[in-house]
Amino acid sequence: MSSATASATAPIPVTVLTGYLGAGKTTLLNRILTEDHGKKYAVIVNEFGEVGIDNDLVVDTDEEVFEMNNGCICCTVRGDLIRIIEGLMKRKGSFDGILIETTGLADPAPVAQTFFMDDDVRARTRLDAIVTVVDALNLASRLDDAPEAEDQVAFADVILLNKVDLVTPEQLARVRSDIRAINPYARVIETERCKVELGEILDKGAFDLTRILSVDPDFLVDDHHHHNEDVRSISLKAGDLDPEKFFDFVNRETQAQGPNILRLKGILAFKDDPDRYVVQGVHMIVEGDHQRPWRADEPRESRLVFIGRDLDWAGLRTGFEACRIAA
Ligand SMILES: Nc1nc2c(ncn2[C@@H]2O[C@H](COP(=O)(O)OP(=O)(O)OP(=O)(O)O)[C@@H](O)[C@H]2O)c(=O)[nH]1
């Protein structure tokens, strides 16, 4: 077989990026998309919540980004995932790999299963690695209350132990031992803002079916997972907002409800501000920054999503509405 034929028939490597809400998956994806590695990736992003925001947080890129917002990648949209991959396979040669960013609430096992269960997909792709991003500050609490967080660690081939800047050396040692207790095999790399040599995580051939079968003997049988139904989201929309009122609102809510706010993210139009403003939070830690000017062809629309447990949903809605600029 000539090498040209070999490359035309070689299976395309697929990397699954997973990790709990707010751990740093998009930060890692943006790093992969902006670094000068000379490769071209097709990107599939799945998110939780009706208002699509993640796609807007992925850097502008030449790569093609497919968004899947109609449900969770690990259950309802698996058919969509297969269709997207089959579509990509028809254009083989135009990219070097596929990156899939799952929602923070996804169980990575059914996503990985897709690459073994569907004959067409199995023949043309190769699951290269499941890369799990872990939030060093919050993992311990999530292991107590979120089974998905544990699954994500258990199935990982590579773990980015991220946000090391937010913890003490003692906390870091504790998280490392929590991870080791669940998954002694994965390579663990400590990072701040997911800064990692991409060669450490991409095209490693790290996925090991034998190990996965030891974690989940039914891996190749069917999917029988459930979601944590307590976690819900609210998607809020408005036109221009008053920035002062908005920051008061977010500070107030994160102080009052922070432990239950697993994630907040939004793209906002502030009165008299030509730039889009991005706000992001995980529990009590909130960050915000201008992103880029609003384009003439896009409506100035504010979108904000809260994901959490037992939140005062009505209070969030009224608080947000009160930040609107009267028309
Ligand atoms: N202090 C600190 N903040 C970080 C680090 N990595 C990411 N962040 C911040 O954490 C927040 C969440 O990061 P994302 O990359 O959006 O997380 P994600 O896993 O994609 O979030 P979801 O898609 O909502 O599950 C953002 O505000 C990031 O700027 C880090 O190493 N240290």
CA 90 / ligand 1 centre spacing (Å): 34
Burial class (CB in 10 A: 0-12, 13-18, 19+), 79: exposed
For CA atoms 122, 52, 192, 258, give the dihedral sign. Answer: negative
Q: Is the CB of 60 under 6 A from ligand 1?
A: no
Mean pLDDT of all residues in 66-82: 67
Q: How confident is the model at residue 3 (pLDDT cuts 50, 70, 90)?
A: very low
CA 2 / ligand 1 centre spacing (Å): 44
Tens of pLDDT along 29-41? 999 988 888 888 8
Tens of pLDDT along 136-148? 999 999 999 998 9
Mean pLDDT of all residues in 169-178: 97
Question: Domains along the chain?
Answer: 3-215 (3.40.50.300), 232-321 (3.30.1220.10)
Q: Is the CB of 149 under 6 A from ligand 1?
A: no
Q: How confident is the model at residue 119 (pLDDT cuts 50, 70, 90)?
A: confident
CA 87 / ligand 1 centre spacing (Å): 31
Answer whether residue 149 shows pLDDT above 90: yes
How far is C-alpha 279 from the geometric centre of its chain's CA atoms?
16
Mean pLDDT of all residues in 305-324: 94
Q: List the beta bridge partners of residue 126.
A: 13
Instruction: Find the farthest-apart pair of alpha carbons in the chain and give their distance in angstroms, rounded.
Output: 69
- The ligand 1 atom at the shortest distance from the C-alpha of residue 265 is 24
Strands 302-309 and 231-238: antiparallel
The reported pLDDT for the residue numbered 37 is: 82
Ligand 1: residue of 27, 73, 263, 291 to mutate (most ligand atoms within 8 A of CB) is 27
CA 162 / ligand 1 centre spacing (Å): 9
The reported pLDDT for the residue numbered 106 is: 83
Whether the complex's predicted ipTM surpasses the cut of 0.90: yes
Ligand 1: residue of 16, 20, 21, 26 to mutate (most ligand atoms within 8 A of CB) is 26
Closest residue by Cα to atom 32, ligand 1, is 163
The reported pLDDT for the residue numbered 72 is: 63
